[in-house]
């Protein structure tokens, strides 16, 4: 490797470290901005369609109203479901505590001395802390959405101006590549959200139906949780199966039934996520499963739950842009999945 190549590689590494540091410490700005860009890319065709029929500003108002209605509806479902689960947790603290003490006694009976290392009121304190944390997350969600909406308004207003500025670049080839990348990213985002939403609705309905048939309490809430968490690849479906399984353990007080619930929920998630969804998404959204999982972990470590949701769209954008430039096309090819695979 020549000295020039070493210098370039070092500069790239330093730039990546600086971007990572800025993204972490300024997550209060970058995370809502990333969400707003994603929303603009998804709803822009709707805005353009409406704008061809009514004045531009009125089209913006209509687009924002529809977007806000969808986001508010989803946020309401999340708050409602987790509020219901939190109330159930608080009202059934004694059942959790009893199950916890039975577990401690079982471990003691099998030669594991744990009573001296664990607190007898651990469950009570944990549930109280979880309830407070969920309440705090609700307030954080509202403030996050306000910032996202503000960025979205500005983004929709400036799309045409940005497109004209890119077209005016001295390097015409670069400008055309950026515009093609933007159009392709927008198309992929729309298909990604369409497929994700379809599969999330199907997952939520199936989980809700299964919970009703199995007699699990809060069946509707678990359906909503499965619907929302399905937007997060890999980790979301896992959490959506673990939580109701733990609740089933408390409700039925039978480990065997809880394991059966867990197995059935995982079978539902596996069929929809690993068999049905890839066939609907097609090769256009094909990504390496390793890169998808890495993106979810990486961005969730930076931005929390918001990063887990936006991680895969960011990966799609990065690889799409890489695919439009000769020097980075190898990276997009390397990180894409097989044609039969998808998220």
Can you give the pLDDT at residue 227? 94
281 in the same domain as 244 = yes
Encoding tokens for residue 52? 């061809």
Q: Kindly tell me if the per-residue pLDDT of 340 is higher than 70.
A: no
Can you give the pLDDT at residue 138? 59
Kindly state the average pLDDT of the residues 316-327: 84
* Structural domain harbouring 282: 174-343
Phi-psi label, residue 257: left if phi above 0, alpha if psi -120 to 50, beta otherwise: alpha
Q: Tell me the three state secondary structure of residue 133.
A: helix
239 in the same domain as 124 = no
Q: What is the pLDDT of residues 155-183, one digit of tens each?
A: 888 888 888 888 888 777 888 888 888 88
Kindly report which listed range (136-140, 246-250, 308-312, 328-332) carries the lowest average pLDDT score.
136-140
Residue ending a domain, among 168, 200, 232, is 168
Q: Kindly tell me if the per-residue pLDDT of 1 is higher than 60.
A: no
Q: Evaluate whether residue 186 is within a structural domain.
A: yes
Quote the number of domains for the chain: 2
207 in the same domain as 256 = yes
Q: Kindly tell me if the per-residue pLDDT of 341 is higher than 50.
A: no
Residue the block writes with tokens 């939580």:
243
Q: Evaluate whether residue 9 is within a structural domain.
A: no
Residue ending a domain, among 124, 143, 168, is 168
Q: Evaluate whether residue 119 is within a structural domain.
A: yes
124 in the same domain as 47 = yes
Q: At 262, is the pLDDT very low, low, confident or very high (cuts 50, 70, 90)?
A: very high
How far is 69 from 145, CA to CA, in rounded Å?
Answer: 12
Q: Kindly tell me if the per-residue pLDDT of 120 is higher than 60.
A: no
Q: Evaluate whether residue 323 is within a structural domain.
A: yes
243 in the same domain as 193 = yes
Give the long-range contacts of residues 295-299, CB within 8 A, separation 24 or more: 296/232, 296/233, 296/234, 296/235, 297/235
Q: Kindly tell me if the per-residue pLDDT of 102 is higher than 50.
A: yes
Give the long-range contacts of residues 125-131, CB within 8 A, separation 24 or more: 127/89, 127/90, 127/93, 127/96, 128/90, 130/86, 130/89, 131/86, 131/89, 131/90
Q: What is the DSSP string of 156-209?
A: HHHHHHHHHHHHT-S-HHHHHHHHHHHHHHHHHHHHHHHHHHHHHHHHHHHHHH
The CA-based dihedral angle spanning residues 55, 58, 59, 65, taken in that order and rounded to the nearest 10 degrees: -170
- Percentage of the chain beyond pLDDT 70 is 82
Residue the block writes with tokens 């609740």:
247
Can you give the pLDDT at residue 122? 52
96 in the same domain as 214 = no
Q: Evaluate whether residue 4 is within a structural domain.
A: no
183 in the same domain as 318 = yes
> How much is the mean pLDDT over the chain?
81
Can you give the pLDDT at residue 124? 55
Distances (CA, A) of 290 to 267, 317, 331: 21, 17, 14
Q: Evaluate whether residue 91 is within a structural domain.
A: yes
Encoding tokens for residue 76? 């309401």
Distant-in-sequence, close-in-space partners of 67: CB < 8 Å, separation ≥ 6: 39, 43, 152
Q: Evaluate whether residue 126 is within a structural domain.
A: yes
Encoding tokens for residue 255? 């480990």
Q: At 273, is the pLDDT very low, low, confident or very high (cuts 50, 70, 90)?
A: confident
Q: At 282, is the pLDDT very low, low, confident or very high (cuts 50, 70, 90)?
A: low
100 in the same domain as 146 = yes
How far is 22 from 2, CA to CA, in rounded Å?
Answer: 30
341 in the same domain as 196 = yes
Q: Kindly tell me if the per-residue pLDDT of 116 is higher than 60.
A: no
- 281 vs 201 pLDDT, higher one: 201
Residue ending a domain, among 168, 199, 221, is 168
């Amino acid at each position: 490797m020549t000295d020039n190549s070493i210098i370039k590689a070092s500069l790239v590494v330093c730039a990546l470290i600086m971007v990572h540091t800025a993204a972490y410490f300024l997550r209060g700005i970058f995370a809502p901005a990333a969400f707003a860009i994603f929303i603009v890319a998804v709803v822009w065709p709707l805005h353009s369609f409406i704008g061809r029929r009514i004045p531009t500003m009125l089209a913006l108002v209509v687009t924002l109203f529809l977007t806000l209605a969808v986001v508010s509806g989803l946020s309401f479902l999340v708050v409602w479901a987790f509020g219901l689960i939190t109330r159930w947790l608080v009202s059934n603290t004694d059942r959790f505590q009893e199950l916890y003490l039975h577990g401690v006694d079982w471990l003691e009976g099998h030669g594991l001395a744990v009573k001296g290392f664990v607190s007898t009121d651990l469950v009570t304190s944990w549930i109280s802390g979880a309830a407070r944390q969920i309440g705090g997350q609700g307030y954080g969600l509202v403030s996050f959405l306000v910032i996202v909406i503000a960025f979205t308004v500005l983004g929709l207003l400036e799309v045409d101006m940005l497109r004209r500025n890119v077209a005016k670049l001295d390097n015409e080839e670069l400008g055309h590549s950026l515009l093609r990348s933007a159009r392709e990213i927008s198309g992929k985002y729309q298909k990604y959200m369409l497929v994700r939403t379809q599969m999330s609705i199907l997952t939520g309905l199936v989980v809700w139906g299964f919970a009703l048939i199995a007699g699990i309490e809060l069946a509707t809430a678990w359906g909503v949780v499965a619907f929302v968490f399905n937007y997060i690849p890999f980790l979301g479906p896992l959490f959506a199966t673990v939580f109701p399984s733990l609740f089933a353990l408390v409700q039925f007080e039978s480990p065997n039934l809880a394991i059966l619930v867990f197995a059935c929920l995982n079978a539902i998630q596996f069929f929809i996520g690993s068999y049905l969804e890839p066939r609907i998404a097609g090769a256009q959204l094909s990504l390496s499963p390793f890169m998808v999982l890495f993106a979810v972990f990486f961005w969730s470590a930076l931005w929390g739950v918001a990063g887990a949701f936006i991680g895969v769209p960011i990966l799609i954008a990065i690889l799409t842009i890489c695919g439009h430039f000769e020097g980075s096309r190898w990276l997009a090819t390397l990180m894409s999945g097989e044609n039969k695979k998808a998220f």
